[in-house]
């Protein structure tokens, strides 16, 4: 939707100087020459939009410049070296990259079904008097600062995991490599669950909003044909809102990738790679949060900034993939309509 | 670039910080001095500057931005003083035109969570502690631990090692000590504010380590003594060089500080860890202040030294209240002698002051 509008705005700007009688014919993006507030308004908004681009570019440049030392020292093998030794100044990003990707992936795995469930319940099944309070409660979750999630995770949730959940998992599923090691309540699984709780409100509120956009006509028709609620959701609501759902998931993923404080509290901060979900791990952002203040040598600081650059790139790649996916879905939808 | 940004930040933040400090403002304009660095002594430095501002109206703004950042600021002479947990090498000091001196003493203690074992019951030696943190001793019923504690009923539990995730003076101190008692530790891990721990999980801050230890049965970690006391964590008895098993506390920290050889060209103790003496706690360290040798502004330099002199003497009560250990009086005299010998402003010595320093403790 944005592209055509932007395009129109651009042409309008470009065509603004020569005043002509053709102008009134265009439905949008018109600007009367000499209409100063209008020109100013356009210039200001353009400036703000440009500022965002400039900011991203500046962040990328600074990260790149300051990570240069680390990459020239360790080479590309910085990406797949497992060691992180501040004393000997031997740094590798693999454990942090692994932890970042795995914790975010697990969080999405947990959060998506729950969020979709909440959204479907709120739009399709909940009695009106319940919709508002539950919806508000979900949105309140989004307003809780991440440090609170971290402290709650550390002081309340981790002990529950250590005493009840993890011993149970070990007892029943202990033969799997996923559930090895002592049940400490601190580690990948706890971090992923906390992350899931943190992103559920985002995914829920977006999907709820897009579900609400489904035309009542389409749903009523399906019900009229004798479809059950499940069939309506499965065959009408979800196909109609695919784009929005994918968008919501990627927004949640983006947030999970960068989440710092809450994860730092419960993930155990060990520069290790382990298959077990019970063992302590690390993420890029928690490594940064932990180690930046006391990093004195240039190589150390540069390696940390290189980690930041990697996170920046991971996020960029994932957002690009999301855009690509959305674009393909949109095309399919348009195709199917035709 | 970072440095310039930090300087701006410091300028912007300082008034904000002080807005909340409720400092009485006298008729004459008072100086405001900036410092920053180590996080461990922050409660003490904050309390000192609050008390000092109440007494004299002079303000000292301390930002606990981490030792690394504090050192970096002082290298570029942005702050009036910096604070670091680990002493800087003499050549770094002379290259950066800084002098350093210890401001306060504290101890790091291993803490354990073992059912049935109370505080100051479990005995450990340095080499055993090193092997636990190296991951070589993995069970509390290891023969070496059992032999040392024949009267204790040790639980058949795996040892869960808990360390600090963030760079810290506590880590610097304990890794230095472990290196002193174990050659393998020196070889495999080394000494630094953050190191590559061979085993265990890590948490942020003293409070993070405290809570991990509290929650994990069979765990061992290390924290600043204050945190162990406040959180009711079980400390251990750690064998010192003389063979004694002192319990950690102000008395054994003081004993170590008294035995330490406070020499060297930079007036830093040659290490407070692993001191001689039957009563010396082996993991003791100082927090250091960094100031410029050549002070650009004589007035500020005077205010700075007057303040530190007050901290050493008048501020002692606060040190005690907050469970730190003050620098012994003879050492204070030597530190102040070094100010007289080395700190200059426009070629003239700054210390001793032309007028008497504030000595009242309030």
When scoring A296, A304, A305 by the number of chain B Cβ atoms within 10 A, the one with the most, hence best to mutate, is A296
How close A312 comes to chain B (CA, Å)? 19
Given a contact cutoff of 8 angstroms between Cβ atoms, the answer to whether B287 and B37 are in contact is no
**Cβ-proximal residues to B196 (8 Å cutoff; 6+ apart), any chain:** A83, A84, A85, A86, A87, A88, A271, B189
Question: Considering the domain boundaries, does residue A205 fall inside one?
Answer: yes
Instruction: Enter the DSSP assignment of B67.
Output: H
| Nearest-by-CA chain A residue for B190 | A87
Dist. CA A244–CA A110, nearest whole Å: 19
Given a contact cutoff of 8 angstroms between Cβ atoms, the answer to whether B114 and B140 are in contact is yes
Contacts of A293 in chain B (CB under 8 A): 39, 65-69, 166-167
Dist. CA A319–CA A313, nearest whole Å: 10
Beta-carbon separation of B167 and A184 below 8 A = no
3-state helix, strand, coil in chain B (%, to 5): 40, 20, 40
When scoring B87, B185, B194 by the number of chain A Cβ atoms within 10 A, the one with the most, hence best to mutate, is B194
Instruction: Enter the DSSP assignment of A157.
Output: I
Contacts of A161 in chain B (CB under 8 A): none
Contacts of B179 in chain A (CB under 8 A): none
Give CA separation, A127 vs A123, A151, A214, A221, B102, in Å.
9, 35, 18, 21, 68
Q: A271: domain range?
A: 59-73+90-337
Counting one residue from chain A and one from chain B, the pairs whose CB atoms sit within 8 A come to 99
Dist. CA B7–CA B2, nearest whole Å: 9
- Tell me the CATH number at A120: 1.10.3720.10
Dist. CA B159–CA B138, nearest whole Å: 5
Contacts of B161 in chain A (CB under 8 A): none
| Nearest-by-CA chain B residue for A62 | B1
Tell me the per-residue pLDDT of B37-54, one tens digit each, with 9 for 90 and over. Answer: 887 788 889 899 999 999
Nearest Cα to Cα of residue A294 among B200, B61, B65, B305: B65
Q: Which residues does chain B have with pLDDT short of 50? A: 1, 14-27, 265-266, 357-362
Q: Which residues does chain A have with pLDDT short of 70? A: 1-34, 333-338
In this predicted complex, what is the ipTM? 0.73
Beta-carbon separation of A186 and B201 below 8 A = yes
Given a contact cutoff of 8 angstroms between Cβ atoms, the answer to whether B71 and B84 are in contact is yes
| Strand B160-164 versus strand B284-292 pairing type | unpaired
Q: Which DSSP string corresponds to A177-236?
A: GGG-S---S-SHHHHHHHHHHHHHHHHHHHHHHHHHTS-HHHHHHHHHTT--HHHHIIII
Question: Considering the domain boundaries, does residue A28 fall inside one?
Answer: no
DSSP three-state, residue B24 = coil
How close A213 comes to chain B (CA, Å)? 45
Contacts of B65 in chain A (CB under 8 A): 293
Predicted local confidence at residue B125, as pLDDT: 95
Contacts of B158 in chain A (CB under 8 A): 182
Question: Considering the domain boundaries, does residue A36 fall inside one?
Answer: no
**Total residues found in chain B within this entry:** 362
Beta-carbon separation of A86 and B71 below 8 A = no
Predicted local confidence at residue A2, as pLDDT: 39
Instruction: Enter the DSSP assignment of B294.
Output: B
Cβ–Cβ contact A270 with B under 8 A: yes
Question: Considering the domain boundaries, does residue A51 fall inside one?
Answer: no
Beta-carbon separation of B195 and A86 below 8 A = yes
Contacts of B69 in chain A (CB under 8 A): 293
When scoring A293, A300, A302, A308 by the number of chain B Cβ atoms within 10 A, the one with the most, hence best to mutate, is A293
- Comparing CB atoms, the residue among A154, A280, A294 nearest residue B66 is A294
- Comparing CB atoms, the residue among B167, B215, B216 nearest residue A294 is B167
Dist. CA A14–CA A75, nearest whole Å: 46
Distance of CA B179 to the CA centre of its chain: 18
Dist. CA B52–CA B311, nearest whole Å: 9
Dist. CA A104–CA A249, nearest whole Å: 11
- Comparing CB atoms, the residue among B69, B158, B204 nearest residue A290 is B204
Instruction: Round to the nearest angstrom and report the end-to-end CA distance of chain A.
Output: 18
- Comparing CB atoms, the residue among B66, B72, B196 nearest residue A85 is B196
Beta-carbon separation of A182 and B158 below 8 A = yes
**Cβ-proximal residues to A267 (8 Å cutoff; 6+ apart), any chain:** A99, A103, A186, A187, A188, A190, A191, A280, A281, A282, A283, A286
Contacts of A155 in chain B (CB under 8 A): 211
DSSP three-state, residue B165 = coil
Beta-carbon separation of B168 and A294 below 8 A = yes
Q: Which DSSP string corresponds to B320-359?
A: HHTT-BPPPHHHHHHHHHHHHHH-EETTEE--S-SSPPP-
What is the longest distance spanned by two Cα atoms in chain B? 70
Question: Considering the domain boundaries, does residue A45 fall inside one?
Answer: no
Given a contact cutoff of 8 angstroms between Cβ atoms, the answer to whether B253 and B260 are in contact is no
Question: Considering the domain boundaries, does residue A186 fall inside one?
Answer: yes
The burial of A200, by beta-carbon neighbours within 10 Å (0-12 exposed, 13-18 middle, 19 or more buried), is given as buried
Question: Considering the domain boundaries, does residue A43 fall inside one?
Answer: no
Q: Which DSSP string corresponds to B87-144?
A: PPPHHHHHHHTEEEEEEEEEEEEEEEE-TT--TTT-EE-HHHHHHHHHTS--BTT-HH
Please count the CA atoms within 13 angstroms of the CA of B27 that sit on its side-chain side: 0
Residues of B engaging A, defined by a Cβ cutoff of 8 Å: 39, 65-69, 71-72, 158, 160, 165-168, 189-197, 200-204, 208, 211-212, 215-216, 218
- Comparing CB atoms, the residue among B168, B189, B215 nearest residue A185 is B215
Domain count, chain A: 1
| Nearest-by-CA chain A residue for B193 | A294
Nearest Cα to Cα of residue A291 among A93, A22, A148, A61: A93
Nearest Cα to Cα of residue B357 among B314, B316, B296: B314
Predicted local confidence at residue B93, as pLDDT: 85
Cβ–Cβ contact A86 with B under 8 A: yes
Contacts of A58 in chain B (CB under 8 A): none
Given a contact cutoff of 8 angstroms between Cβ atoms, the answer to whether B169 and B67 are in contact is yes
A115-122 contact pairs (CB < 8 A, 24+): A115/A199, A115/A200, A115/A203, A115/A204, A115/A207, A115/A248, A115/A252, A116/A203, A116/A207, A116/A245, A118/A200, A118/A204, A118/A208, A119/A203, A119/A204, A119/A207, A119/A208, A119/A211, A120/A211, A120/A233, A120/A237, A122/A204, A122/A208, A122/A211
Q: Which DSSP string corresponds to A98-128?
A: HHHHHHHHHHHHHHHHHHHHHHHIIIIIS-H
Question: Considering the domain boundaries, does residue A16 fall inside one?
Answer: no
């Amino acid at each position: 939707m944005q592209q055509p509008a932007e395009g129109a705005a651009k042409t309008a700007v470009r065509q603004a100087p020569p005043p002509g009688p053709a102008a009134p014919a265009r439905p949008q993006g018109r600007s009367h020459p000499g209409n100063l507030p209008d020109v100013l308004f356009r210039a200001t908004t353009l400036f703000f939009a440009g500022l965002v681009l400039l900011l991203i570019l500046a962040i990328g440049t600074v990260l790149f410049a300051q990570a240069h030392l680390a990459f020239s020292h360790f080479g590309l093998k910085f990406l797949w070296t497992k060691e992180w030794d501040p004393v000997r100044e031997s740094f590798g990003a693999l454990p942090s990259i692994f932890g970042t990707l795995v914790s975010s992936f697990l969080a999405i795995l947990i959060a998506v079904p729950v969020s979709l469930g909440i959204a479907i319940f709120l739009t399709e099944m909940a009695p009106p008097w319940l919709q508002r309070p539950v919806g508000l409660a979900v949105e309140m979750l989004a307003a809780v600062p991440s440090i609170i999630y971290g402290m709650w995770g550390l002081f309340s949730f981790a002990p529950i995991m250590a005493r009840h959940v993890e011993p149970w998992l070990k007892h029943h599923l202990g033969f799997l490599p996923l559930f090895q090691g002592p049940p400490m309540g601190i580690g990948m699984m706890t971090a992923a669950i906390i992350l899931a709780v943190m992103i559920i409100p985002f995914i829920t509120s977006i999907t709820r909003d897009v579900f609400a956009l489904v035309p009542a006509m389409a749903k009523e028709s399906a019900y009229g044909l004798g479809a059950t609620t499940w069939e309506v959701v499965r065959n009408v609501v979800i196909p109609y809102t695919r784009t929005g759902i994918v968008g919501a998931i990627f927004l949640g993923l983006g947030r999970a990738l960068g989440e710092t404080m809450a994860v730092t509290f419960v993930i155990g901060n060990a520069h290790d790679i382990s298959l077990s979900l019970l063992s302590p791990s690390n993420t890029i952002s928690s490594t940064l949060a932990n180690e930046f203040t006391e990093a004195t040598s240039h190589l150390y600081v540069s390696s940390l900034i290189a980690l930041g650059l990697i996170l920046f790139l991971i996020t960029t790649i994932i957002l690009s993939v999301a855009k690509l996916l959305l674009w393909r879905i949109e095309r399919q939808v348009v195709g199917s309509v035709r | 670039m970072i440095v310039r940004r930090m300087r701006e930040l410091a300028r912007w933040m300082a008034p904000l910080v002080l807005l909340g400090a409720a400092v009485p403002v006298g008729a004459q304009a008072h100086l405001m001095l900036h410092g920053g660095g180590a996080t461990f002594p922050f409660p003490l430095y904050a309390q000192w500057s609050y008390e000092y501002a109440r007494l004299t109206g002079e303000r000292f703004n301390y930002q606990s931005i981490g030792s690394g950042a504090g050192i970096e600021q002082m290298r570029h002479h942005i702050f009036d003083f910096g604070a670091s947990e680990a002493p800087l090498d003499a050549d770094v000091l002379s290259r950066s035109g800084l002098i350093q001196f210890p401001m306060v003493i504290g101890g790091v203690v291993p803490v354990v969570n073992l059912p049935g074992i109370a505080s100051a019951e479990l005995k450990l030696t340095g080499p055993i502690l090193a092997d636990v943190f190296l991951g070589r001793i993995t069970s509390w019923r290891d023969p070496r631990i059992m032999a040392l504690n024949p009267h204790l009923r040790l639980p058949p539990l795996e040892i869960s090692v808990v360390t600090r995730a963030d760079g810290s003076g506590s880590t610097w101190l304990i890794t230095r000590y472990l290196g002193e008692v174990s050659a393998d530790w020196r070889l495999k891990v080394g000494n630094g504010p953050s190191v590559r721990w061979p085993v265990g999980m890590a948490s942020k801050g003293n409070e993070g380590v405290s809570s991990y230890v509290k929650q994990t049965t069979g765990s061992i970690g290390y924290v600043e003594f204050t945190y162990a006391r406040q959180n009711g964590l079980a400390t251990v008895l750690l064998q010192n060089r003389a063979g004694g098993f002192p319990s950690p506390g102000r008395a054994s920290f003081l004993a170590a500080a008294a035995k330490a050889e406070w020499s060297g060209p930079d007036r830093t103790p040659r290490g407070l860890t692993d001191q001689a003496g039957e009563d010396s706690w082996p993991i003791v360290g100082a927090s250091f202040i960094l100031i410029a040798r050549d002070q650009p502004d004589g007035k500020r330099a005077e205010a700075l030294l007057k303040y530190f002199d007050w901290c050493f003497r008048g501020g002692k009560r606060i040190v005690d209240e907050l469970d730190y250990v003050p620098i012994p009086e003879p050492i204070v005299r030597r530190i102040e002698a070094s100010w007289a010998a080395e700190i200059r402003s426009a070629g003239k010595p700054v210390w001793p002051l032309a007028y008497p320093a504030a000595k009242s403790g309030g």
